[in-house]
Amino acid sequence: MEVQVAPLRAWDDFFPGSDRFALPDLKDISKWNNRVVSNLLYYQTNYLMVAAALVSIVGFLSPLNMLIGGTVVVLVFLGFVWMSHNKDILRKLKKQYPTTFVLAIMLSSYFLISYLGDVMVFMFGITLPLLLMFVHASLRLRNIQNKLQNKMEGIGLKKTPMGFILDALEQQEDSINKLADYISKVKE
């Protein structure tokens, strides 16, 4: 399947007034997870632009440390994903507690970078963009177009870079998983 880059969403849709934002229901973790996954898929190009701007600023100020920090984070992420595919206990942790899994990756990266050098580059260049993405995805309410685009991604009609990352983390909307399972059974 060919990878498609998601379109850049209008900035007034991405970050308007408070009428489209609300605190998630902390009692229903599944619903909150679906909101985050849905928003990560829908606004992925906007998130990439914001992250690229922050990484560029920090990279300009400290290029070698940013390169080292980025390399460490990518290697730790790939190591955790590989281990989770080969160890059942990590696979269950990743599936049931995705935030814990990502925090473990970030903490491992933090300790490796603190061993190698400048921790502030890690904090501002790598962690801050990820934190901003998570906060926005948690607070932003979904709309009809958002849900439709995510259904298309979930049943395999299109595949985006964020879709690949979320697949590696085994994070998809529950309803999308059920629909994809149903479609695969019908094909058989």
* pLDDT tens profile 110-167: 787 777 766 677 777 777 888 888 888 888 887 666 666 666 655 554 567 776 676 6
The confidence score (pLDDT) of residue 62 equals: 84
Domains of the chain by residue range: 28-144, 158-187
Arithmetic mean of pLDDT, 30-52: 83
Q: Band the pLDDT of 184: cuts 50, 70, 90.
A: low
Give the lowest-confidence range in 17-21, 48-52, 133-137.
17-21
The type of residue at 87 is K
pTM for this one?
Answer: 0.66
The confidence score (pLDDT) of residue 177 equals: 47
- Report the C-alpha gap between 69 and 71 in whole angstroms: 5
Give the lowest-confidence range in 41-55, 64-78, 88-102.
88-102
Ordered alpha helix ranges (H), the chain: 11-14, 29-42, 44-61, 63-86, 88-96, 98-116, 119-122, 128-139, 144-154, 161-168, 174-187
Centroid of chain to Cα 59: 21
Cβ neighbors of 102 (< 8 A, separation 6 or more) are 130, 169
Is residue 109 within 8 Å of 73, Cβ to Cβ? yes
How many Cβ atoms sit within 10 Å of the Cβ of residue 108? Answer: 17
- Report the C-alpha gap between 29 and 90 in whole angstroms: 19
- Report the C-alpha gap between 47 and 142 in whole angstroms: 16
Core vs surface per residue 153-187: b (16+ CB within 10 A) or e: bbeeeeebebbeebebbbbbbeebeeeeeeeeeee
Helix (H, G, I), strand (E, B) or coil at 140: strand
Q: What is the mean pLDDT of the chain?
A: 75
